[in-house]
Structure 1
Amino acid sequence: MLKQIEEWIRQVNQSHAPQRQSCSRFEEPFSGFYSPGFLNSAYFVVVDQIPKPDLPGLRAAGLGDFIDMDVAGITYDDTYYVQRSVANELRLHFHELVHVVQWRQLQPLGFITRYLDEIQAHGYNDAPLEKMAYRLDGHYQANGKSFDVEDYVRTNL
């Protein structure tokens, strides 16, 4: 099933490639948090509906609630998707960029495996990868002191 999910993600990202926008546009608001090189190699797509892999195997694994959950954004490898209605919310972009760093550190199959295991074991709100992203986006939203998010994620995964 993991290879099927990875292939689905590859196809989704490929089909949305013409709409991808570089995260380099966030260089100023995220200065001190994310490096310009990282932002230049991360992308987002504004969509009316968040793409999710509604695969029978995921539902059989007890992940139906996660698949059906209404989310504002989701990350697949170096690209994340945000709903049009919240596309200008910096906190959301900050959060999804944390997930891009996590994807890079864990690699696709590693991220997919860990993320699904965490959702199954802890639920979405208590999944460690999500808790990290929410903690960091909350720090940003509260005008917290800047720090290297990429290094933080590498050290704390």
Structure 2
Amino acid sequence: MLKKIEQWIDKTNTYYTSQRVCCSQFKNEFSDFYPLDFLSNSFYVVVDKIPKPDFDELRSMGVSDFIDMDAAGITYKNTYYVLPHMQDNLRVHFHELVHVAQWGELGSIAFMQRYLSEIQQLGYHNAPLELMAYELDAHFTHAGEGINIPRHVANTL
């Protein structure tokens, strides 16, 4: 199942390649949190509808609520997708970049396995990977001290 999801992700990311925007544009806003090389290898795409793999197998695993949830953004590997009304929201970008760091640290299969397991067992709002992203984006939003996010994610996972 995870390979099927990864193939869907790769196909989705490839489809949107020409629309990707490099996150290096946030080098000033996120300079105390994300190294430039990390931002230069991270991308976002503005879409009218957040792409999600809607497979019967996923629904039978009990993640229908997540699939059907109205999300402001979603991350697949080093690319995340945001809705037009969120494209200027730095907190959303910061949050999704935490997920880019998580994907990078864990690798695709391990990230998907852990993320799905957390959502199944604890629900989206209590999933540790999500809680980490929400805590860090809140820290940023409240002008918290700079933290190297990719390093923090690596040390925390």
Fold-level match, TM-score > 0.5? yes
2:137 — aligned with what? 137
Q: 4+ residue stretches of structure 1 with deviation over 4 A?
A: none
Gaps of 5+ in 1: none
Q: Residues 2-151 of structure 1 correspond to what in structure 2 (within 5 A)?
A: 2-151=2-151
Which amino acid counterpart does residue 126 of structure 2 have in structure 1? D
SS at match of 2:30: coil
- Per-residue CA deviations over 1:80-109 (Å, capped at 9, x if unaligned) read 000001110000000000000000000000
Give aligned-pair identity as a percent.
52
Which amino acid counterpart does residue 96 of structure 1 have in structure 2? E
1:156 — aligned with what? 156
TM-score, normalization by structure 2 = 0.99
Which amino acid counterpart does residue 13 of structure 2 have in structure 1? N
Distance in structure 1 (CA, Å) of the matches to 2:91 and 2:10: 26
Distance in structure 1 (CA, Å) of the matches to 2:142 and 2:89: 14
Computed over aligned residues only, the root mean square deviation of the Cα atoms, in angstroms, reads 0.4
Structure 1 residue 13 displacement after superposition: 0.2
Structure 1 residue 19 displacement after superposition: 0.1
Distance in structure 2 (CA, Å) of the matches to 1:53 and 1:70: 14
Which amino acid counterpart does residue 50 of structure 2 have in structure 1? I
Gaps of 5+ in 2: none
* Count of residues in correspondence between the two structures: 157
TM-score, normalization by structure 1 = 0.99
Structure 1 residue 147 displacement after superposition: 1.3
Distance in structure 2 (CA, Å) of the matches to 1:94 and 1:54: 26
Distance in structure 2 (CA, Å) of the matches to 1:85 and 1:148: 28
Structure 1 residue 32 displacement after superposition: 1.2
